[in-house]
Structure 1
């Protein structure tokens, strides 16, 4: 039976190293996962390409929010793609839309041309398009190597039937990679419905602060405990891959 493979969305080099040790084949390197992921720092990318033996794909996204970008933001994206290329990344993760919800084919084509020979993944901006089937054909025509999608739904489990239809439509012309909400307890269900072979997950857990002093006035005022954070763990990645291949 063909083995299920896992890409991990890592919120930094620490998480990326854990993903590698856990058996991931590739890392989507991001910052600010609470905003859906933004472009990581130059240092994160530089050290990731130096220290990781697996594929490194930084996301090219200058901010959170929608995927309709200004001229200045587009210039930043082009500069970030060039940085990734100069640092020896294996690929980049992109996605831009027009105001009416169609893929911004002109700007995406520019980024893809600049990125080559790196590989290119089109991220979940795809799920925000006004017609997934048409967007799939546009992205195939652009020459992207894969699409990350939850089937236009909040999670891949909810969008599993749509992902199955997208896989059928793609017919091997592009890789369809389910992502969003993939956990150890549901990965087998998503596999059985979609038939996909490569998946995308964060495999992260909360990490409590080890600070001995905390200003309780600031802590109480915050909407969340700002002293804590989240990291991908080797154990979580390993268990997720084991479960995915348990069928």
Structure 2
């Protein structure tokens, strides 16, 4: 993502540049979330938001981590479609920022997602993992229902974050760290499909067979392309 401030607006919308300060937002006492230049650029790049909509997001800065899609839709001039786009981009940004933060904090007594059970999303990394004593953990938890509200949260398990490579538009997890994690008996998290992948590659989130087939095909094509390149190099 870039920090460009000039973007072209979608048809029928006003340009969004110049309505937010160049510096990062002031933050707040509740969550400390900052509406950064990087996030602003990501939203502007979609061409989906007017200047007034971006301003509304900026002014809601510290509350954004607690926003559901319905709350986005309740902002001035927001529609269901713009609320959906804003929720997806900002939720992903929050997760990426949390994963990149320095590991810290005491051992929590319950999973983060129990703070907002009505918004439970197993694919949102900020709700299912935590940093403790320099290591990253996920909650081995389940959501059950009894009298409308009943939750079981299991125990913490160590995990590692595995990077990925874009192969023809398919996010392919890097094999070496993933294999090492499996050998170590540690679950690993792959951001490419917003889901947890367990030991042996077992999906703990929702990854369809079609997606797994795409990954397998992309891996085969990647290997085939590498062999072809080496063959051409040998002939030259």
Task: State which structure, 1 or 2, has the greater radius of gyration over its C-alpha atoms.
Answer: 2
TM-score by length of 2: 0.29
TM-score by length of 1: 0.28
